[in-house]
Structure formats: structure tokens, C-alpha cells
């Protein structure tokens, strides 16, 4: 079974600064997806960024980028130019891929990191 | 395109009752997954439906069940409610393309907050 670990329960960053959230995972699979979701106080889970394991290039979405280290099973999220609206719980998630996992939509989540933005 | 909708948004029940939650996926999405979120256990996968069939199930007791209709809308039912069933129940939908194609991201609804007294 796969596991996802987020070792930072809480983080804070000054507005306009950069912050990095950590995530490690354990799997014996070679083909999978990794995601970062954001959950603001409204509790709506919002996709931030996703990474396909077969892609060596790190995914980026505007101010959000990841550092994907497949061998180390590490998947960190970097938020640049932090804004007040970035305050939320951030969850790292894993999903199996590959033909043998067709139909397996299950997401395995980490425990989350609460990010506070300091004005 | 409208997002995933869940009804009701809030619900209060008493122990022993049963409850039904509803989820309408994004138009065109055929896969619907359900998750339970609690402070103690975090986010846990309940089950996933595709074309009216349950494809995958998490480690929950048989009191938790679900179904999917031909229009892809899904319901989950919890019978004989227990205090520990108090949680935020999240529904997510995805396209879930055919085998060999790119996998689509899951998009979440706003959740149903269930309180069991």
C-alpha cells in the first residue's frame, strides 16, 4: 500500500516571500501521479498542481512549482510571492497509474500542512 | 461548466439514524469518488463509481454504501449512524478515460458536513 507523509503540520510565511512545503511518499509502483490540493476555510478542495511520475520535468503553475525527486520519493511544493489568499491547508496526494491500475481512482492523502500568510 | 455539487451542505442526525448524501459530477465526468475527512483520521477513500458500477472500495464497514445513476450522479448512504461518523464527506469527479489514455484529475465538491448527535 502507498503512504504519503507531510512532516510539517504548520508553516508560516511573510506575504510576498517564498515558502516550500514538503511531502514524501512510499510506493513500489513506477507509474503514478502526485498532486497538491489546497483546502481553504471554505473546505472546498482545490487542485493546485499535478505531476506525472514519468515526466522528469517539474510541473509549474504560475506562482506554484514542484520539486519532484523520484528516486528520493520526494514531492515538495514551492509557492513564490505568497499572497493572503494562499492561506489554507495543503494536502499532498498520490494516485496509481499504469494499465494494471486502470479504474483505480483512489487518492491517498497526506495529513496536510496548514499555511499561514503573515501580512 | 458547473463544478461538482453536493447536497445537502450541512446535516444533523442522531445515533442510529441513516443518511443519504448526493453528489452531481461535472458534466461529462463518469467517475465519482467519495472521501471522508475527520480531524483524527484525515482524508480517507470510501469508494468510487464508474458507469453505475463500484470499481474500488476503501476500508469502511458495510454501513457505508453508495450507488451511481445513469446520469453519473451518485449517492452515498450511511446506516445506523455512530458518533464517529461525524465528518466532512467529499465527493470528487473525473473523466476517467479509457485504459491507455491520460488519467484525468479529480475535481472536488464543497462537501457535506455531517454531525451525529
| Residue for grid cell 506525472 | A52
pLDDT tens profile A1-53: 889 999 999 999 999 999 999 999 999 988 899 999 999 998 899 999 999 99
For residue B100, the model assigns a pLDDT of 45
pLDDT tens profile B3-20: 999 999 999 999 999 999
Residue B80 DSSP symbol: S
β-pairing, B10-13 vs B112-116, is parallel
| 8 Å CB contact of A102 and B45 | no
Q: How far is CA B107 from CA A80, B16, B27, B95, in A?
A: 24, 32, 12, 10
For residue B103, the model assigns a pLDDT of 62
Q: Which residues of B85-102 are buried (b: 16+ CB within 10 A; e: fewer)?
A: bbbbbbbbbbbbeeeeee
pLDDT tens profile B60-106: 999 999 999 999 999 999 999 999 999 999 999 988 665 444 566 88
Nearest by CB: B103 against A33, A37, A110 = A33
Q: Which residues of A4-19 are buried (b: 16+ CB within 10 A; e: fewer)?
A: bebeeeebebeeeeeb
Nearest by CB: A105 against B56, B108, B113 = B56
Residue pairs between chains A and B whose CB atoms are closer than 8 Å: 59
Amino acid at each position: 500500500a502507498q503512504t504519503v507523509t507531510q512532516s510539517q503540520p504548520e508553516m508560516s510565511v511573510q506575504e510576498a516571500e517564498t515558502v516550500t512545503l514538503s511531502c514524501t511518499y512510499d510506493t513500489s509502483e513506477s507509474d503514478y501521479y502526485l498532486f497538491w490540493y489546497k483546502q481553504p476555510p471554505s473546505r472546498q478542495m482545490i487542485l493546485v498542481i499535478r505531476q506525472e511520475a514519468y515526466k522528469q520535468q517539474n510541473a509549474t503553475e504560475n506562482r506554484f512549482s514542484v520539486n519532484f525527486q523520484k528516486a528520493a520519493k520526494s514531492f515538495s511544493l514551492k509557492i513564490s510571492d505568497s499572497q493572503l489568499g494562499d492561506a489554507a491547508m495543503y494536502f499532498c496526494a498520490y494516485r496509481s497509474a499504469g494499465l494494471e491500475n486502470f479504474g483505480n481512482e483512489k487518492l491517498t492523502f497526506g495529513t496536510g500542512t496548514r499555511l499561514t500568510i503573515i501580512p | 461548466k458547473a463544478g461538482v455539487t453536493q447536497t445537502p451542505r450541512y446535516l444533523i442526525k442522531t445515533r442510529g439514524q441513516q443518511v443519504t448524501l448526493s453528489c452531481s459530477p461535472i458534466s461529462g465526468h463518469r467517475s465519482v469518488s467519495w472521501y471522508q475527512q475527520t480531524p483524527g483520521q484525515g482524508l480517507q477513500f470510501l469508494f468510487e463509481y464508474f458507469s453505475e458500477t463500484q470499481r474500488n472500495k476503501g476500508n469502511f464497514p458495510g454501513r457505508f454504501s453508495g450507488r451511481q445513476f445513469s446520469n453519473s450522479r451518485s449517492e452515498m448512504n450511511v446506516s445506523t449512524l455512530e458518533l464517529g461518523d461525524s465528518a466532512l464527506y467529499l465527493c470528487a469527479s473525473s473523466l476517467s478515460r479509457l485504459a491507455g489514455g491520460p488519467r484525468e484529475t479529480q475535481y472536488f465538491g464543497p462537501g457535506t458536513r455531517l454531525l451525529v448527535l
